[in-house]
Structure formats: C-alpha cells, structure tokens
Structure 1
C-alpha cells in the first residue's frame, strides 16, 4: 500500500498515479460511527478536472482501438485482483460509510462479476441490420463515446461506481470519476486495481472534491461526451441541464420511494422478514429502500405487531463487527434530515410505533446514530409517504383490494423499484406489470445482477445500468454501407438517380 495510505492522506488518481490537488487543499473524510477523521483527501477543482480529462483524452484512442478480447482480458484480471484485495476494500468501505460489514462483505464480494460479465459482453456482442436491396453490404458498428464522466454517491461507493465503470471500459471509453466527498476512498483505490490489471494510464481517473467546484467543472466540460450520475432527483435535474448546454449525453439513477406490497396469503412473519431487510439495509440509505410497506388489511395488524417487535431487537453497533445489523447514518447532515422527517410525520398525524430517536448509551454518544423507525396510520398524501427520506424510516399503510394497492404503490413521483409479495402467480405478474417502476421484484427485494437492467421510471431517472442496455448506452452506432457492384457510378446518367434509390 502506498505511503499516502499509511499516512491517511490520499491524492487524486490521474493518468495512472497519485498526485496532489493543484490547489494543495485537502478535506477530511469521517468515520460515521464516531465522527473521527478516517483520512485526508486531496480536494480537486476545475484545474484538476481539466488535467484528468486531458489524460483521458490522450488515453482514449489507444484504449478504444484495443481489440475487445484484449479489453476483456484486462477486465478479467481486474476481477481477479479485486477478489484478492476484497478484505481491504470491505474494511475501507465499512469505515467510510458506516454500513454493517455483514452487508458490505456480501455486496462487494459480487463486484468482480461485473468486470467479468461486461468483458465477456465486449467479446461477443454484435450488431447486424437487414441487407439493402441490390448489391450492398449494410452493417452497424458500436463505437465508444469518448471520455465519459461518472458522478457517484456515498451510499454504495464501489458498487455504483462499478456499475458505471465496467460497461464504460468494455465499450472502449476512458473516464473521469467525481466520487462523493463523504466516501471517495474505494473509488480512488480502484485505480490501483485497474492499473495492476493492465489498464493503460489515463483511462481511469478520479478527482475527489465538492459538487460546486469539481462536480460542476466535470459536468460543464466540453471534452466529456456523457455524464452518468447517481444522486438525488433535484441534483439530477441540475446536472442534466448543465450537460445539455454541450449536448453531452446524460444518464441519471435518481431518487426513489419503493413500495413493498403484501397480499393476503403471505405469512406476516415472511412479510416482516422482508421488510426488515428492505427497509433497514444500509440503515435505509439506499434508493430502493422499502420505505412504504403497503399491507392488505387482513394481515395488517399482525404485520405491524411483528414488525415493531422485531425492529426493537435489531442490533446497532460497530459496523466492523459481523454481529452488527444496523450501523450509523453517514453524516450529521443526513441524521438531521431523518430527524426532520420524523417530526414532520408526527405533525402530520402518523403514529410513531417504534424508534424515532437517537439510541442511548456511551457507544452512541459520538457518530451519527439513529434508531430504526416505523410509522403506522400513514396516508399516502403525507410528506413522509411522498418524499425520499434516505434513512431508517418505514411507513406502513393498509389496503383493501388490488386496485387500491396498485394506486398506493404508484402514487408518488418516483418509479425506481417496487416489490410484490403474494402466493398467487397470476396476481404476481398482473400487479408487477402495472407497477410504474423500472425494477419490480416478486417475493424478493433489492436483488441485483450485472446482466439485469437497473433504472427508473418517472422522476427516478433516465437510462439503465447493467446488462446489454448499459453497454449500448456507452456506445454510439455507426452505419456502414458498402456498394459491392463493379458497375460504374454515374449519377447524372438518364436513369442514374432512379437506380441509386431503387
């Protein structure tokens, strides 16, 4: 590990190596369990973004012209190296996010699959088009976009970055990453993995910093051909507007307010088991959090009783301890947002059934802890049912029939994800098909795979991650038409124009 890591001072990653910010400034990254300083990180700005884009532009021609099978070998090697360094990545990710190790070990352990999948896709994917009439060969090529920009969040730093980096690399793009200032360490460290796997210098660059400076500079940069953002809906609107001034492509995985719809016939204990995971994984800090539990009235009371009882037993503690089930929130600002919405819920008349406060005890005096919280008696027009809280708060609402359940589930501006819980196979598909969400799980929640498209409807975003759809979104189509005839070309002959268009 470089001396910078040992000193807890991290540079920018540009052109295959570490360097300080042009300004010389750094910022502190906290460990949210106790508010201690985890690391000092170079604070990138517009000058550093220019340097990173220039490095990516220099590297683009070589990488884009690298045969797909050679790109695939680099990506397979990256997967191998990442597996070998997995404990290190998990430890750092836990420290910078506060997420429980039991969650992150499982999540990060799958990330090598993304590099293997997209590497294989680069080797095998082909495009064809029907032939023209007459002696012509007509075909399409998918060519890379150029230098792309990735703006990534703090809640799943390495997972969400990987969902962008893997298809970008497979398609032959170079890139500049602006990670969240709250969790930039693993995106930086990924640079070492890719370099050691044989990725040419300059293809992958990381400039940590703040949105108003580094983020805005990346978004506005005329050398960037696509911006791919994961973040809040309002941030997405702003970034898309800035990118549009240069006709830069934009993709955004934005806010969510996922519904879990539980029909009669599903055991209340099974509903609660699912809700505890969907609602409180990542301490509720995920865009597909099961934040609205919509339960048929015949099982509603039993579900609420079991959910409240089980929520009280969730183990808060050191996120590095495998026994811990719920860690802290990522920052004081995020805890303040959660506390604001809990007050709003009470003022709106919802019933606070459990949680709704900071935990007591010496272990929680420092850091950004908050108890898992359940509201009952929630109406769908309440702000806690409509607005993304991004914390460990779940709203429980009853319904009487299928039509009402679908109306409640679809009754927000968001449409990222939803889950349907039923023992009736016909009902499962019928309801799933009417969900206004880009991802619908049946008798599951938060399941993900590199081959499975991920993205939202409505105000939850534009574009898709994962699968062939993601690979396509990092390419542009070139159509090549070849005249195979040896006949002389004479447009101005009496019948020339007719022959050309017949």
Structure 2
C-alpha cells in the first residue's frame, strides 16, 4: 500500500484488529479524489467480536463496577481529551467528508460540552420511593442501563452524531458498538484513541467498519444488543425499524427532513436572508435539518430571493482544508448524481431556476464534485423538489399569502424534523411554534443545536430524542421493587 495511505484497523475490547475475512475497502478524499485511507470490511464474525466485548464490559469488569460518579468523571475527562485532540479529529473528518475544516473544528470543540453535561448527569439518575396504598409494603424504583447499544451514524457529521448517542448512553452506564458510514469511518476510529487516553476500560466503546448491507442485520438483530440508535436515510431507517421490532430492540431513529424556512413580510429581511442561506447552503445542503423549502410571503418574495442569491453567489467554494473555504464538495459520487437528477426534475416540473443549477468546476481539483448553490422559484407545494429530500444545496421557494396558508403548506409533507419562522410579531411566533408539525422550531434563527435541547422528528423523520434530559431516559429502564414488611397473607389472593 502506498505510504501516503493510512491503514485503519477495527477496535473491540481495547484491541485493534483486522477483519476476519482479510477484506478492506478504501476511503476517498472527496476534494482531491485520491484514496487516502484503507479500512477493514467487517463481517458477521467481526460483529460478534465487538458485541461480545461490549457485553463483557457491561456485565463485569472495571466499567460494570464503576460508581455513577466515577462514570461521570470519566466522561468529563473524555471532554478534556476531545478538546486536546480537536484539531486532529477535525482535519481527519474534513478530509473524509469534504466539509470545511473551520466548521469541523467548531463542531468538534463543541462536542466536549456534551460529555461535560452528561458527565454531570451520571450520578443524578434517581429512582423514587412510591407511596403505594398498601401499608405493609415499601416500594421504590431503580433506573438501570439497558446493556449493549448499537450506534449507526451517517457520513455527513460522524463525530457529532456519534456523540449525541454516546454521551447520554455512557452516562446511563451502557456500552456501545459504533458503526460509522463506510464513507466516513476514520474519525470514529480515531475517537477510540481518545477514549483510551481518557481512561475508559476496554469494551466500553467498540467500532466496526464496513457496509450496512453486509453487517447491518447482524448488528441490529444480535441477541446481546438491547438498543439501536440510528441516524440516516429513510430506506435504511425503515429496514432498521423492521429488524428492531422483530427482535424487540429499543430504538431511536433520526431520519430525513424537508424543513420549511418560513419568512413573513414583517421579518427583518437581512437576518432572514442570512438564515435562509445558512439553512440550505452551509455544508452544501448535506444536513438533515436543511431548510430546503423556503416559504416566503408574496409581497417580499422578490426582495428576499435577491438577498439570498447575493449571499449564495458570494460563498467561497474550494479546498475544505483551506480556512477561507465556506462550502466544500459533495461527499459521495452517488449523492452528487442524486442532486443533479433532482435539479433536472425541478426543470421538468416547471419550476424556475433563478440561481445555479449545475455542477461547478474547481481548477485546482478537477475530480472534486461541487454543485452551485441553486434556487428554484415558482415552486408548487406538491412538486417533487418540494416534497422529497434532496440533501444538497437546492432551495425550493414557495410563495404564500397569509399565515394559515403557510401552516398548511409547511405541514403538508411526510417529514417533520425542523422548521424556521422569521417574523417580527411575537404572537405569530408562538402560534407558529405551536402549529408546525416539527420536532424543532427555530424563530428568527436557524441551524442551532445544543446539548440541553432535545432533538428529533415528527412523522417520517423518526422517533425518540437525542440531547437534553430526554435523551438519557431512552438509555434507561425502570425497575419496580416491592418489599413486604408484614406476614404473608392468603397465597391465593393477589397482594
């Protein structure tokens, strides 16, 4: 193998190991177009090894014997180690998925806060004494971890979305097998080294790499796995949900979105234009919360679209490792082709392309896959580009007359992950927040996330919540304990 290629092994039980089959696969730098890393192609035998390691760590050994306070201190140390290694992790992730390094650095430095937050919660997971109406009984509840959890993450934000799963799950006392996307596995493997440096016992975090079509079923249906937490596309999510239900696994799903960014005539148009641009053109639109539907009140539509277009035209596209780059390439060839196909669909449906609409060549990177920021005007709510997730820098502008119509258009879709509202009317802000069918509603802002705020979807965008207090509850189960204080009564009568 050429010396400029990094060979990665998988990780289980504190040991690095090759795939049992001896097979590997390549990771391609989406900007430079060359193979930069080689990874192990896991099979079912490798899945068994990782799950067995996680199961052993959960049931006995150093992790199982830690007090909750000690778990919390480990998570805090992990946050410290992430800060120490943030630049290296960000560079690897940027090279793997093509997102700008400046954004990746900011993301990864923020992740320490998740481990601090959940580290602080670890010893506050309290049960309760329950005053039942039976005077000869003392009753209480215990909050206990589930066991081995499988975390499956997508290619667009590997470490961020892994953290949203790992931090609450570890605070609750579970162990993990992490399966990153085959397109962006390197940073998840580097995370294992950070766990080691923080002092985590072997088997708490295990990582297998490979293709979901080959190992997904064995991961989800493994008899020693208690919970699956998945972020990804609709089709894969449907398959995971079916398998989890068949094998009675706990499940958290965060799937696609087609989020409306709704701008009323009374909004601050400068702020709204920046928010609309951030919602769709940042990260080249490769984010589940992309504000890919612009719902704009008719009387300000022309002005707002012009302002959004000016921002889009000024976006600096180029090398993700260049600190001045604002928009990187499309991560995978399949996604690049999909976006271009949807642009063609928009033309065929009769929408009016007023900006972009084509691939963009970068002289220094002839193989890189860039797509111009694209805006379609005159979009009707039932067009495919207004109903289906594109996952790229394509904005569908839909005009409306009043508040009632805006709500109807926003909710008339199978997704419900997020929504944005731009208005100067505080009453309208509260009304819209109540009426929009979305797990997150941003008012006069967009694309904000935090460790204290729950995140998840309505409808086809999934179920369960990540972040905040709600997330940790999804990694716990409640045990009810009854202690009899008196003599045993009639054995044939229920107490």
Indicate whether the TM-score tops 0.5. Answer: yes
Q: Does the residue aligned with 1:362 lie in a helix, a strand or coil? A: coil
Post-superposition offset of 1:6: 7.8
The residue that corresponds to 1:490 in the other structure is 489
The residue that corresponds to 2:269 in the other structure is 268
The residue that corresponds to 1:185 in the other structure is 186
Q: Distance in 2 between matches of 1:12 and 1:361?
A: 35
> What stretches of structure 1 move > 4 A for 4+ residues in a row?
4-7
The answer to whether the Cα contact below 8 Å between 1:140 and 1:477 also exists between their aligned partners in 2 is yes
When residues 364 and 57 of structure 1 are mapped into structure 2, their CA distance, relative to the original with a 3 A threshold, is same
The answer to whether the Cα contact below 8 Å between 1:94 and 1:319 also exists between their aligned partners in 2 is yes
The answer to whether the Cα contact below 8 Å between 1:32 and 1:97 also exists between their aligned partners in 2 is yes
Residues 1:106 and 2:106 are matched in the alignment: yes
The answer to whether the Cα contact below 8 Å between 2:5 and 2:36 also exists between their aligned partners in 1 is no
Q: Does the residue aligned with 2:32 lie in a helix, a strand or coil? A: coil
Higher mean displacement: 437-446 or 364-373: 364-373
Q: Distance in 2 between matches of 1:41 and 1:177?
A: 15
The answer to whether the Cα contact below 8 Å between 1:295 and 1:399 also exists between their aligned partners in 2 is yes
Q: Distance in 2 between matches of 1:135 and 1:296?
A: 66
Q: After the TM superposition, which residues 141-180 of structure 1 pair with which residues of structure 2 at under 5 Å, given as runs?
A: 141-180=142-181
The alignment covers a number of residue pairs equal to 491
The answer to whether the Cα contact below 8 Å between 1:207 and 1:214 also exists between their aligned partners in 2 is no
Q: Does the residue aligned with 1:110 lie in a helix, a strand or coil? A: helix
The residue that corresponds to 1:76 in the other structure is 76
When residues 250 and 5 of structure 1 are mapped into structure 2, their CA distance, relative to the original with a 3 A threshold, is farther
Stretches of structure 1 lacking an aligned partner (at least 5 in a row): none
Post-superposition offset of 1:153: 0.4
The residue that corresponds to 1:116 in the other structure is 116
The residue that corresponds to 1:42 in the other structure is 40
Alpha-carbon displacement from aligned partner over 1:317-363 (angstroms, at most 9, x marks no partner): 11111211110000111100000000000000001111111113423
Post-superposition offset of 1:268: 2.3
Higher mean displacement: 337-346 or 246-255: 246-255
Q: Distance in 2 between matches of 1:360 and 1:19?
A: 40
The residue that corresponds to 1:97 in the other structure is 97
Q: Does the residue aligned with 1:205 lie in a helix, a strand or coil? A: strand
Residues 1:223 and 2:224 are matched in the alignment: yes
Q: 1:12 aligns with which of 10, 13, 23?
A: 10
When residues 257 and 21 of structure 1 are mapped into structure 2, their CA distance, relative to the original with a 3 A threshold, is same
When residues 49 and 168 of structure 1 are mapped into structure 2, their CA distance, relative to the original with a 3 A threshold, is same
Q: Does the residue aligned with 2:36 lie in a helix, a strand or coil? A: strand
The residue that corresponds to 2:349 in the other structure is 348
The answer to whether the Cα contact below 8 Å between 1:177 and 1:205 also exists between their aligned partners in 2 is yes
Q: After the TM superposition, which residues 274-353 of structure 1 pair with which residues of structure 2 at under 5 Å, given as runs?
A: 274-353=275-354
Q: Distance in 2 between matches of 1:351 and 1:339?
A: 15
Alpha-carbon displacement from aligned partner over 1:114-160 (angstroms, at most 9, x marks no partner): 11111111112323253112143221111111111111100000000
The residue that corresponds to 2:209 in the other structure is 208
Post-superposition offset of 1:430: 0.7
The answer to whether the Cα contact below 8 Å between 2:19 and 2:41 also exists between their aligned partners in 1 is yes
Post-superposition offset of 1:7: 5.4
The residue that corresponds to 2:358 in the other structure is 357
Higher mean displacement: 134-143 or 234-243: 134-143
The answer to whether the Cα contact below 8 Å between 1:255 and 1:459 also exists between their aligned partners in 2 is yes
Q: Distance in 2 between matches of 1:140 and 1:367?
A: 56
Q: After the TM superposition, which residues 474-485 of structure 1 pair with which residues of structure 2 at under 5 Å, given as runs?
A: 474-483=475-484, 485=485
Higher mean displacement: 163-172 or 133-142: 133-142
The answer to whether the Cα contact below 8 Å between 2:281 and 2:393 also exists between their aligned partners in 1 is yes
Q: Report the TM-score when normalising by structure 1.
A: 0.95
Q: Does the residue aligned with 1:330 lie in a helix, a strand or coil? A: coil
